Every structure is written in structure tokens, then in C-alpha cells.
Amino acid sequence: MRDGVQLIAYADRLGGTIPAVADVVRRRFGDAVTGIHLLPFFTPHDGADAGFDPVDHTTPDPRLGTWQDVRDVAATHDLVVDVIVNHVSSESDAFLRFLAEGEQSPTADLFLTYDRVFPDGASEADLTAIYRPRPGLPFTAYRAGGRQRLLWTTFTPQQIDIDVRSGAGHAYLVSILDRLGEAGVSMIRLDAAGYAVKRAGTSCFMTPETFDFIDEIAGLARERGMTVLVEIHSHFRTQIEIATRVDRVYDFALPPLVLHLLATGDVDPLLRWIDVRPRNAVTVLDTHDGIGVIDVGADPDDPARDGLLAPAQIDALVEGIHRNTGGESREATGAAASNLDLYQVNATFFAALGSDDERYLLARAVQFLLPGVPQVYYVGALAGGDDMELLAETGVGRDINRHRYAEAEVDAAFERPVVRALRALMRLRSLHPAFGGEFRSEGGAGRLVLAWDSGADRLRLDAIPGEGLVTLEWTEDGAAHRVDALLALAELDADPA
């Protein structure tokens, strides 16, 4: 897999279909994008959780396209696809059959019931020890085979947890991997893998058994020619540990650290992270979810493991986002919206920075110059603002950052200098030969320097964020280039259309 820029997108929200989103990428981004992460396009793509609750994880939603359309994308771009390992939809045929027939159903072993984890019952300590992404206990009562059963539902009552340690659970996941491998997928993203294995007496999150499960799935994926990206929001040292056991891990600490940097001019937390962060990271500032803060906080289960930011700094960061968005993010975050992801703030990254073009481009420059594979969310690639109309329509907090772009909106976005400058920056990251060389970072006292060198090829970012000073220097065909305002990159942008 190449380490150029990847674009993350919902097919139905950028183009409308799988072929259309590929056309947008080819026509509007050209060689600035080398990979595409297609967010869940399975049947249905518009369920209770925007495709993350599949009824059929092995069939594309026919409204979006076919497996041949997926193969066509993979023919020109590195393709990343989600494997939702923790749960399926409550509307799936397998679960409906379990409800009808109970334990006599051939699909019964696929689903994780309360008593499979707690056959002798659970104490208050057992239940309160369970790590939760949302308030309340992870159980929903369903009537199955004529009697009430408690099913594990880590996220929503419509997302039924799989017993990944059962034969049926293993076979289900292998069937998905087989289909993705046949479609030419380059990398799979294990969605919610940290919650997949539950064991009594533990937090049921990122336990030793979870690591074993991730190792097993990674091995099965590699046998089918795919590498593995793990999605875990957790303490930064857990991320470092995960990175030693998988191909790629998200750098979820980066978004809040960059926001802190640009809000305060304080470079030290980011420099501390650069010294220890995994080199096999996928770097992001925005995704289809909110902006995580747990990733830079102290370990709630071990106070001795401090965070990259202190509690007061995290509080200030969150309040700064709310202020920069004019309060829009507050309407979409936590108990204010139905998603209830209490460890995330919902806003577009552009809005979180006060819709400031230069600060936004500096944030992207920092992301692109760090080692790893950079991913840019489709709303972020178009420097999109908060979608308050969609939030009001659905009441789902994360929809503030899930705008549905019509073709004319995409074309209009490229009339803006910030979007053209970002495309030029993406092209530098995807094509410049210096990124095949050595990385170095330095700084302190408010200054941050990130640089790459490969023989005569060089690229260097020198910034004093607290004073708004930025210099980007690079070589091209033996000539030296420099800009002292990143927005000036718009003048160097070439439209592939």
C-alpha cells in the first residue's frame, strides 16, 4: 500500500454511488489522492448507524453499486473497507430467525447473550467494571423463542453484538473477509474491535483476549492479501501497544493535540507525542465520528498513566471548539444529541478551528508531515462547515459532520482558495520524493519544525503557531520553493479536471 493521501467518504454523500464517488476523486483530486476509504456500503447503507449496522455485510447496497464497482475502485486506488466485527443489525435475517426460534435456531450461536458471559450471574462490581462508550449498561431485552433474553448491545439496541468466539461468529467474519479479498480490497479497518471480546471479571474492552482476537483476524486478512487497520479510542500507550501487533493503527491523539497547538501555541504536548507515537499510524484529523478527547487523557483505570494533556487543558480544548463553532458543536455533543458519544466532540474540523483558512491548512500540514498514511475525511477535504440542517433533521450528533454533497457543491468548493491550497498540499504529500527518506522533528518554546530529506529532495515546515508564522519549503526538479502563507499554495494548484 502506498503512503499517499487517502480520502474517507460515504458513497451516498459524495457522488451518491460507488462509481460516482470514484469519479469525484479521479476528476477533482486526481493524483493528490492515492487511496479511498469507502465507508460502509453494505445492505443497508442507511440503517440505524449510517451503515455500521449491516443487515447483510457481504452484499453492497444495490442503491450504491455492485462488487464489480468496488473492484473498479480497487483497480486504480488503494481501497480501504470496514469490517464491522462487533455487531450486526437487529433486522438481519440471522437475528430475526433467532428471535423466532430461540436456542433452536441454527443462528443462535452467532449472538452474544448476557448469560454466555455471566452464566452464574453478575455482581454490581462485574457490571460497573464494563467499559462503556455510552451511558447505561450494554444490554437490550428481546423476546427470543418465546422467552425474554438479554442481548449484548454495546452501541445501540439495533446493533446486536456477535459472539466472535463461537463457531458461527468465526464463520461469519471469515465470509466477510473472503468477499473483500475477492474484491481487491487493500486494507480492512476493524471497526469497534476493542469491544469484540467479553469476559466476566474484566472491563470487556482491550483485554488480553481482545489482542488475541485482533491477531487472529489480522492473520486471516493477510492470508487474503489485505493489511489491517485497527480503530481504538483509548489511552495513548494502548495505541502504542496495539501498533506492535497490527499493520496500522489510527493516530487518534493527533486531532486534539493539533487543536491544542493551534489554540495555545503550546508545541510541547505534540512534540512529546511525536517522540513516542507509532510510525505505522494512519493519521487523521477528522473521520465520520467526532473529535476524540479520551485519546489524550489520563487512563481512567490507572491514574499513574497520565495523559498527553492535563484535564484542564482538555476542558479548555473542548470549550474552545464550542466557542469556535459559535455553540454549534455543543448542540451536537454528548447528551445534547442521540449518539451520546461522551468522549467525542461533534463538529467539522474546519469549524472547530473557527473556519480559519490558514490555521486549517497548518493543521493539515502538520498531519501530512508526520510519518504514517494520511487520511482526509470528505467533508474536511472540502473544508466544510457544520451541517446544522442535517443535525436538526436527524437529531444525530455526528450528522453535523456528514453533509450530503451534490455535484454542484463539490465543484463550488474548488472555487475556494482554501480547498485548492489543500489539494496542492495533498499532492505534495502524495507525490514528493522526500517522503521516502528520513523524518526529523524539533522545536520548543512555541516553535515546531517537521522535515523530510531524501538525498537532494527536501521538504520542511517551520511554524510558530501562537504568532501565526508559517514557512513551507520544498524542492522540485532541483529548484527550491517557499511559501510564507499556506493559502498561497492555491496559486500552485493544478485542477486535474
3-state secondary structure the chain: CCCCCEEEECCCCECCCHHHHHHHHHHHHHHHCCEEEECCCEECCCCCCCCCCCCEEEEECCCCCCHHHHHHHHHHCEEEEEEECCEEECCCHHHHHHHHHHHHCCCHHHECEHHHHCCCCCCHHHHHCCCCCCCCCCEEEEEECCEEEEEECCCCCCEEEECCCCHHHHHHHHHHHHHHHHCCCCEEEEECHHHCCCCCCCCCCCCHHHHHHHHHHHHHHHHCCCEEEECCCCCHHHHHHHHCCCCEEEECCHHHHHHHHHHHCCCHHHHHHHHHCCCCEEECCCCCCCEECHHHCCCCCCCCCCCCCCHHHHHHHHHHHHHHCCCHHHHCCHHHCCCCCCCEECCCHHHHCCCCHHHHHHHHHHHHHCCCEEEEEHHHHCCCCCCHHHHHHHCCHHHHHCCCECHHHHHHHCCCHHHHHHHHHHHHHHHCHHHHCEEEEEEECCEEEEEEEECCEEEEEEEEHHHCEEEEEEEECCEEEEECCHHHHHHHCCCCC
Give residue 246's pLDDT: 87
Which residue spans of the chain are classified as CATH 3.90.400.10?
93-160
Which residue spans of the chain are classified as CATH 2.20.220?
435-492
**What is the third-level CATH fold of 435-492?**
Glycosyl hydrolase fold (2.20.220)
Looking at domain 93-160, which CATH architecture does it have? Alpha-Beta Complex (3.90)
**Per-residue model confidence as pLDDT tens for the chain (497 residues):** 678 999 999 999 999 999 999 999 999 999 999 999 999 999 999 888 888 889 999 999 999 999 999 999 999 999 999 999 999 999 999 999 999 999 999 999 999 999 999 999 999 999 999 988 777 899 999 999 999 999 999 999 999 999 999 999 999 999 999 999 999 999 999 998 999 999 999 999 989 999 999 999 999 999 999 999 998 888 899 889 889 888 999 999 999 999 999 999 999 999 999 999 999 999 999 999 999 888 999 887 777 889 999 999 999 999 999 999 999 999 998 755 444 345 789 999 999 999 999 999 999 999 999 999 999 999 999 999 999 999 999 998 999 999 999 999 999 999 999 999 999 999 999 999 999 999 999 998 999 999 999 999 999 999 999 999 999 999 998 899 999 999 999 998 888 86
Q: Which listed residue (231, 306, 356, 476) is catalytic?
A: 231
Give residue 227's pLDDT: 96
Q: Is 266 assigned a catalytic role?
A: no
Pick the CATH number of 6-85+167-432 from 1.10.1670.10, 3.20.20.80, 3.30.1280.10, 3.20.20.140: 3.20.20.80
Q: Which listed residue (78, 161, 191, 251) is catalytic?
A: 191
Give residue 340's pLDDT: 39
Reported pTM: 0.94
Q: Is 389 assigned a catalytic role?
A: no
Give residue 494's pLDDT: 83
Which residue spans of the chain are classified as CATH 3.20.20.80?
6-85+167-432
